[in-house]
Structure 1
Amino acid sequence: MRAGRLLSLLMLLQTRGRVTAPQIARELEVSVRTVYRDVEALSAAGVPVYADRGPAGGYRLLDGYRTRLNGLSPQEAASLFLAALPGPAAELGLAEEASAAGLKLLAALPPEPRSHAFRMRERFHLEVPGWYRGADEVPHLAVVSEAVWEERPLRIGYRRWGQREVDRVVHPYGLVLKGGTWYLVAAVADTVRTYRISRILSAQVLPGTFTRPADFDLARYWQQWAAGFRERMYTAEARLRVAPDAYDMLRLTLTAEVVDTALAGADPPDADGWVSMVVPVESIRHARWVLLRMGAQVEVLDPPELRAAMAREAAAMAAIYGPPAG
């Protein structure tokens, strides 16, 4: 365990430059006292670690010191190739660079980790978009990525929901890939917003630079935004009566997360085994369209307007198909 932690400390110093003991402790999830002991162990092993005193001080490696990437375990080396996504790399304009980096990494590995990495690449393939859903067209992704990386202002033409087009000058903070869909997180007049890349109609990197807030955490922002998006998306509720053999179909219709949460608070099954539950829905219109997929496996109990809409649709379908034969 300690050997792995010392290697992590060495890689941290090599990639970050000067780092304080509290920063190292937070990164490695150890105490500051443990950091002091680990730094002493590295020094005793011949690694040139130096401590700079003062408010701007910290630990750093001797200028020019580098270590070979030969401390990876076979499993760690293999996991690097699970994280390599050729599709997104190509969309970012980095297909050749990603391929070259993989080859250089393989060449730097000792024989045993290298063989594990080859086996992982031969046996596992990761594809981001889901079934029956093509990836978004993102012709402006490379330009947006350049602005993100270089901290340059970006002018975008954007198609909002409802087909309304707007022109924005934004400060791009980061990119997020979610389920095969790219999103831009950017600031507009000190307000952080999220833009779907496929809705960007034009993109132009502008002169000058901006200062990205030092305390902005892209992962934390996305987690909070995604939670808020779910709340904004589900604006109403519906009470359903669901057949006992229809749960899997309902999970495909409403998502497993929604159905499992609803089942946790559902009423006990009735005499026929049907279960009443409350589920969130986007709107009455959307719920009608979605729940019609379930056919006679689900009954809408509330709200009355959704039940009436389902009844009207069922009556219209009966008029089209006519009474049962025989």
Structure 2
Amino acid sequence: MRADRLISILLLLQNRAKMTTKELANELEVNPRTISRDMDALSSAGFPVIADRGTSGGWRLLESYKTNLTGLKAEEIKTLFLLPSLHLMKDLGISEDWHAAREKLLASLPASFHGQAQDVWDRIHIDTNSWRQSPEKVTAFTILQESLWQDKRLLIQYERVDGEQRERIVSPLGLVAKSSTWYFIAGVGGDIRTYRASRILSAQFTDETFERPADFRLATFWEQSSQQFIQSLPTYEVEAELSPSILSRIKFTGRFVQQIHLEDSLPNGWIPASFCFDTEEEAAQYSLGFGNQIRIVSPMRLKEIVYSRAKSLIEMLENDQ
């Protein structure tokens, strides 16, 4: 295990020129002390690893040094043949290039690997579409994609959630696909913001260039911003009792429920449960959907809302007869 990690460190430094102890630790999923010990081991073994001090410091290899540890293992080769999301590649306009690259890679390998590649395709398929897919049209997708390689600022017009339209001059930094939804990451002033690509109504290049932040890592930014977004979501907790007849259906209603905790059955057979929703309205609609198969315990206000709506429904049905 340690030998594989030491090889990984050498390859990372060769491919990325310089990395900090923290970056290496995050990449290899170990603690920084482990990386420090690994660097001592590499240095003792005669590998030319150099530590640059200061705010822009990090670990690097002597410029003239190149490793010869680039042979691929059979299991590593298999991972290269996992089929990525075809519809996302089509969005990017690279599906044909990907297929061509895959065939060239396969042709460069010994014949013994050809059957293994087909075996991977026959056993693992990745589909990021949802069952009820409603593809979003991204009007300016081509320009958004092109802008990432030109380091020119864009003038975008986008529509906010409330329907208001605004213009912004942004510095393009990245595109992220979350499931089948694309997000555009861009610098605005001193901030980095995330825009839902389908809400960008138009985009055009400006003559103004910008310098891409040297320390910006798209995957790291997305992971951190995603966690912040999840933590900022509103929560509405509900205590209830469930009829045993709906246990198999409570997580498959088409409505979003963050978590469901079930307890042991009560003497009457009903099951205490805890739910967590984003809003009171979602909780009310979810509860009403199960009729008399869910008994709300708390909060009392939700119980009153469900009672009022159920009563109004009964009155409406009675008036229609």
TM-score norm. by structure 2 comes to: 0.78
2:297 is the counterpart of 1:301: yes
Q: 2:268 aligns with which of 238, 258, 272?
A: 272
Contact 2:78 2:117 in 1 (8 A): yes
Summarize deviations over 1:72-104 as a string: whole Å, max 9, x none: 223222222326222111111222222222222
| Cα distance between partner residues in 2 of 1:197 and 1:9 | 36
Shift of 1:161: 1.0
When structure 1 is superposed on structure 2, of 146-155 and 177-186 the one drifting more is 146-155
Shift of 1:196: 1.1
| Cα distance between partner residues in 1 of 2:79 and 2:130 | 22
2:291 is the counterpart of 1:289: no
What residue ranges of structure 1 are gaps of 5+ in the alignment? 44-48
- RMSD (Å), alpha carbons: 3.6
| Cα distance between partner residues in 1 of 2:107 and 2:130 | 34
1:180 is aligned to 180
Contact 2:241 2:294 in 1 (8 A): yes
Contact 1:74 1:112 in 2 (8 A): no
Contact 2:257 2:275 in 1 (8 A): no
Q: Residues 79-158 of structure 1: matches in 2 within 5 Å?
A: 79-82=79-82, 84-158=84-158
Contact 2:258 2:275 in 1 (8 A): no
Change (3 A) 1:114 1:247: same
| Cα distance between partner residues in 1 of 2:241 and 2:38 | 57
Summarize deviations over 1:267-319 as a string: whole Å, max 9, x none: x5432232344433333333222332223221233334432332233234434
Residue 215 of structure 2 aligns to a residue whose secondary structure is coil
Residue 118 of structure 1 aligns to a residue whose secondary structure is helix
1:196 is aligned to 196
Equivalent residue letter for 2:184:
L
| Cα distance between partner residues in 2 of 1:279 and 1:80 | 41
| Cα distance between partner residues in 1 of 2:230 and 2:52 | 47
Summarize deviations over 1:112-161 as a string: whole Å, max 9, x none: 33431222123332110211123322232232122234333222211111
Q: Residues 209-220 of structure 1: matches in 2 within 5 Å?
A: 209-220=209-220
| Cα distance between partner residues in 1 of 2:315 and 2:292 | 17
Shift of 1:212: 3.1
Equivalent residue letter for 1:84:
P
Contact 2:39 2:49 in 1 (8 A): no
Change (3 A) 1:217 1:273: farther
1:58 is aligned to 60
Aligned residue pair count: 309
Equivalent residue letter for 1:59:
L
Contact 1:158 1:166 in 2 (8 A): yes
Contact 1:14 1:61 in 2 (8 A): no
Equivalent residue letter for 1:307:
K
Residue 187 of structure 1 aligns to a residue whose secondary structure is strand
Change (3 A) 1:211 1:21: closer
Residue 251 of structure 2 aligns to a residue whose secondary structure is helix
1:207 is aligned to 207
2:310 is aligned to 314
Residue 72 of structure 2 aligns to a residue whose secondary structure is coil
Residue 61 of structure 2 aligns to a residue whose secondary structure is strand
2:240 is aligned to 240
TM-score norm. by structure 1 comes to: 0.77
Contact 1:72 1:113 in 2 (8 A): no
Change (3 A) 1:23 1:234: closer
| Cα distance between partner residues in 2 of 1:23 and 1:83 | 31
Contact 1:152 1:205 in 2 (8 A): yes
Contact 1:52 1:58 in 2 (8 A): yes
Shift of 1:6: 6.3
Residue 249 of structure 1 aligns to a residue whose secondary structure is coil
What residue ranges of structure 2 are gaps of 5+ in the alignment? none
The answer to which structure has the higher helix fraction is: 1
1:46 is aligned to none
Residue 290 of structure 2 aligns to a residue whose secondary structure is helix
Summarize deviations over 1:224-255 as a string: whole Å, max 9, x none: 43333334443433332222343442222455
Change (3 A) 1:6 1:228: closer
When structure 1 is superposed on structure 2, of 198-207 and 237-246 the one drifting more is 237-246
